[in-house]
């Protein structure tokens, strides 16, 4: 099975991987901007997310295999690869296993280290959305607000809503499998893996996903990396400060 994607523009292939509970649509605006620079943008839905296939297995190893299969299907031999959060972990592991394929690597607000499970409340809230009574986005937002205070986070999560049939809403994500395998999201990259690809790490100024102590951790595995901070942004740095995010990518690519 091949991952679903939205392909924009022509030129050197540039692949983007979303984060946990996200989807390719989260990157549509950034993808359009980058396509105008002469890149063929591949906005990808990872397994159990967006419009891609659902599967019982969920780990970084299988997501790397999914991406390799995707590249082979589309005959992509050399790529630029950007991953955010969970997608960043997939991207790092892909670059470690397939170094000849990755011309440049961009990792948005994640490091290779282990992260504790911290999505329980979100997953609980999504699991308790009763679509036998919820028939509008507004009602879904109200119910989710009992579990998730932040409005922007709820709007991000509710992008997963879609009409299953006339008058019946559902979620695109494979919630059951993601709930059961949420521990996989925080898994660390194997410490023996080394990444030679030129790599840019982008950190949200207000985010705690990349801390001072992580820089040594990154340096032990990445031979050629730089780290830039996106001001006035948290974990969703590409949405919170898209201009600064775009500028740092532009500088890195040129």
Written as six digits, the tokens of 125 are: 């809230």
Q: Which of 85, 111, 207, 233 is catalytic?
A: 85
The continuous run of DSSP H or E covering 20 comes out as none
- Strand partners of residue 176: none
Q: Which of 49, 84, 235, 238 is catalytic?
A: 235
CA 157/CA 161 separation, integer angstroms: 8
C-alpha pair distances (Å), 56 with each of 47, 162, 219:
10, 22, 34
Active site residue 235: yes
CA 65/CA 63 separation, integer angstroms: 5
Burial class (CB in 10 A: 0-12, 13-18, 19+), 186: middle
Beta carbons within 8 Å of 112's beta carbon, 6+ residues apart: 89, 92, 188, 189, 217, 218, 221
Strands 5-8 and 39-44, sheet pairing: antiparallel
86 close to 189: Cβ distance less than 8 angstroms: no
Q: What region does 232 belong to: left with phi over 0, alpha with psi -120 to 50, or beta?
A: left
Active site residue 145: no
Query: Where in the sequence numbering do the catalytic residues fall?
Result: 85, 235
């Amino acid at each position: 099975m091949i991952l679903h994607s939205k392909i924009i523009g022509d030129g050197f292939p540039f692949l983007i991987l979303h984060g946990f509970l996200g989807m390719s649509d989260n990157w549509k605006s950034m993808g359009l901007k980058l396509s105008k620079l002469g890149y063929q943008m591949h906005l990808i839905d990872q397994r159990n997310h967006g419009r891609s296939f659902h599967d019982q297995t969920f780990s970084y190893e299988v997501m790397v295999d999914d991406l390799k299969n995707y590249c082979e299907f589309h005959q992509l031999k050399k790529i630029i690869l950007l991953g955010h959060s969970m997608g960043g972990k997939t991207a790092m592991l892909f670059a470690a296993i397939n170094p000849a394929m990755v011309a440049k690597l961009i990792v948005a607000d994640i490091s290779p280290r282990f992260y504790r499970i911290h999505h329980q409340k979100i997953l609980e809230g999504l699991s308790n959305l009763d679509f036998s009574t919820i028939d509008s986005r507004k009602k879904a937002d109200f119910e989710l607000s009992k579990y998730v205070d932040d409005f922007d986070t709820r709007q991000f999560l509710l992008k997963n809503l879609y009409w299953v049939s006339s008058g019946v809403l559902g979620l695109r994500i494979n919630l059951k499998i993601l709930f059961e395998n949420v521990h996989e999201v925080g898994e660390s990259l194997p410490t023996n893996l080394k990444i030679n690809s030129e790599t840019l790490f982008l950190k949200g100024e207000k985010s705690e996903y990349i801390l001072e102590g992580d820089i040594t951790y990154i340096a032990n595995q990445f031979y050629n990396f730089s780290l830039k901070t996106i001001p006035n942004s948290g974990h969703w740095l590409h949405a919170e400060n898209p201009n600064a995010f775009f500028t740092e990518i532009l500088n890195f690519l040129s």
